[in-house]
Structure 1
Amino acid sequence: MVVLVLLCSTACTSTPTSAGRTTLGLSAWPGWFPWQVAQEQGLFQRNGIDVELKYFDSYTDSLNALSSGAIDANSQTLNDTLASVSGGAQQTIILVNDNSTGNDQVIARDGISGVADLKGKKVAVEQGTVDHYLLLLALTEAGLSQKDIELVPLATDAAAAAFVAGKVDAVGAFAPFTTTALQRAGSRAIVTSAEFPGAIPDHLVVSRAFAKNRPEAAQALVNTWFDTLEWIKQNNGQAVEIMARRGGVSTSDYRSYDAGTTIFTLRQNIDAFTPGVTPTHLNHQAGQIADFMVSTGLTPNRPSLDGLFDDRFVKAVRR
């Protein structure tokens, strides 16, 4: 009964927050698997919201689904949200799930000891997504550009498989696909997101129409997230089993991802949404990413940051 009280600390109601079902997308990333826990433990319902949790095997498909209006909300990175906004999508970020602190990696075959060694090599990555961004950051830091490598555009699962099969020299991937890639004998991560603090924050993103017209539903999603984190804290073993099963990995593999994904507390959420001039502040990081996207040709137009962040929902969570 104590756990139930904790779960209801944000908002509990016996009726839906607003008419209709809310469709929430997620794909293979450890920082988003708590949504699976929320579904299996009935935590959406306890917050009065009817949610269809839609899992996408392809992360890119989830981005396209939100941009096209096929789903109401999606789990996606800041840089991918900026790419969508640059293309004309009207989206807003209402929650920070986590920061990638090592679980995004560029993994290379034996004989490649650093990023500089990628010159002239085949590198597979899902073009235009977060690990493409990490690859470009690493190349830039090493004094190279995308023109110095042979980019092989593949969906992340296919990219990892191609690397294991020896078809490419390196791969940009995120957990749990990093586990697949590292099955290649002699392979190792030559750069990770831990080397670029704050560069890859992950979010709950909704259409601006959803945030405006269904604020009760948006609030219920945010409330559910923090209730879920509390449930995971109270029932860690069971939660890890659920999340590992969703990721298609063993519980021991899943636990190995802990250090590489830093889940944000409510306090960290509020601090991140607060305007500032360091990598921990979303407005600062978004500006840097937007400039980088244009300079490297990821997008022809600098995305507008107006309306990108909506902090009212995290601020309304009861503490």
Structure 2
Amino acid sequence: MRSRPLTRLLTAVLCAVGMLGVAGLSGCTGSTASPASGKITLGFSAWPGWNVWQVAQEQGLFAQNGVEVELKWFDSYTDSLNALATGAIDANSQTLNDTLMSVSGGARQTVVLVNDNSTGNDKIISRDGIAGVADLKGKKVAVEQGTVDHYLLLLALAEAKLSEKDIELVPLVTDAAAAAFVAGRVDAVGAFAPFTTKALERPGSRAIATSAEFPGAIPDHLVVKSDLVKDNPQVVQGVVNTWFATLAWIKDNRDAAVGIMAKRNGVSVEDYKSYDSGTTIFTRQQNIDAFTPGTTPQHLNHQARLASDFLMSTGLAKNTPNLDGLFNDAFVKAVPE
């Protein structure tokens, strides 16, 4: 799910730190009849939970909620992360792991909304003859290092009483990993939708582990530059309000919405519908519950600690991410019920 070369991301973060704002907490207001001050650019890329933004744009819901937003699609998720880190965009759709990686490098970013949790659309897929994760011992497994699917692989291996040392890890970007698996060059692959659809084209292939087995481990967010929260909270509020307004529109116009989202991801409507159960879109209350500090998988602070440990233990992060001020629930709390 949502992959990128970590060295490129870290370089971009380190180069941009001086340009980024300082995190701050601000009071929030609801949407207004006139546009909030300033146009912002919001990035998103291939993941079922983020296609909601495409619906918002096509239905004019940003304007209805008083904000002027340029929606920017990235064919490469990597590029969207770099764009936020360098200040080329104001907000981005990205995973918790990737946000922590940016913060570890010195970026000032704030999570203001939980879009969804992956509940099955991240998968470890194996060839015929491999019945479970324990059978991966000594096998070639393709995955992009440092991504949430690498994280999922390690969680699944640990549950099977194995470690990364017990497999032959083949580091490839996610689309190339899926292609290598289909071509028979590796025995298994870690991938996210829609690349899981490609991987499962290999005859006899099956998912032997999915994110559904690790609740809360892979949350996806709207992340903004922290100076936007400080300097223009009304814009952030308008974008968050738009998200929930769009979810309401999708509920009332399901077929039209699925058509828009499937087209954006370049898959058939039937394939897109198959992703439904694997991505759990969060309600306002689920957002509030996730932002509330706690010690269970549903709590973001808990998952952030686990993900930070992963980044540090694998050597992907050189500095422990600072979690102070990373999560700001003021905007979801201010959304009209």
Name the TM-score, length of structure 2 as normaliser: 0.88
Query: Would you say 1:160 and 2:178 are equivalent positions?
Result: yes
Letter of the structure 2 residue corresponding to residue 315 of structure 1? K
Query: Would you say 1:253 and 2:264 are equivalent positions?
Result: no
Question: What is aligned with 2:163?
Answer: 145
SS at match of 2:319: coil
How far apart in 2 are the matches of 1:111 and 1:85? Answer: 41
Residues 288 and 83 of structure 1, relative CA distance in 2, 3 Å threshold: same
How far apart in 2 are the matches of 1:73 and 1:104? Answer: 24
Query: Would you say 1:66 and 2:84 are equivalent positions?
Result: yes
Question: What is aligned with 1:104?
Answer: 122
- Note the C-alpha offset of 1:85: 1.1
- Note the C-alpha offset of 1:82: 1.0
Question: What is aligned with 1:194?
Answer: 212
How far apart in 2 are the matches of 1:169 and 1:63? Answer: 30
Question: What is aligned with 2:37?
Answer: 18
- Note the C-alpha offset of 1:107: 0.6
Query: Would you say 1:41 and 2:97 are equivalent positions?
Result: no
Query: Would you say 1:265 and 2:283 are equivalent positions?
Result: yes
Question: What is aligned with 1:279?
Answer: 297
Structure 2: runs of 5+ lacking an equivalent? 1-28
**Aligned 8 A contact 2:146 2:311 in 1:** no
Question: What is aligned with 2:319?
Answer: 301
Query: Would you say 1:117 and 2:135 are equivalent positions?
Result: yes
How far apart in 2 are the matches of 1:12 and 1:291? Answer: 38
1:208-257 Cα shifts (integer Å, max 9, x gaps): 11211121111111000000000000100000000111111111111111
**Aligned 8 A contact 1:294 1:302 in 2:** yes
Name the TM-score, length of structure 1 as normaliser: 0.93
How far apart in 2 are the matches of 1:87 and 1:142? Answer: 33
Letter of the structure 1 residue corresponding to residue 313 of structure 2? S
- Note the C-alpha offset of 1:156: 1.5
How far apart in 2 are the matches of 1:167 and 1:70? Answer: 38
Aligned-pair identity (%)? 75
- Note the C-alpha offset of 1:288: 1.9
Aligned length: 309
1:87 aligned to which of 79, 102, 105: 105
**Aligned 8 A contact 1:60 1:129 in 2:** no
How far apart in 1 are the matches of 2:171 and 2:73? Answer: 22
Structure 1: runs of 5+ lacking an equivalent? 1-9
How far apart in 2 are the matches of 1:302 and 1:115? Answer: 30
1:99-137 Cα shifts (integer Å, max 9, x gaps): 111110011111112222222222222221111111121
**More displaced stretch, 251-260 vs 153-162:** 153-162
Query: Would you say 1:136 and 2:154 are equivalent positions?
Result: yes
Question: What is aligned with 2:330?
Answer: 312
Letter of the structure 1 residue corresponding to residue 118 of structure 2? S
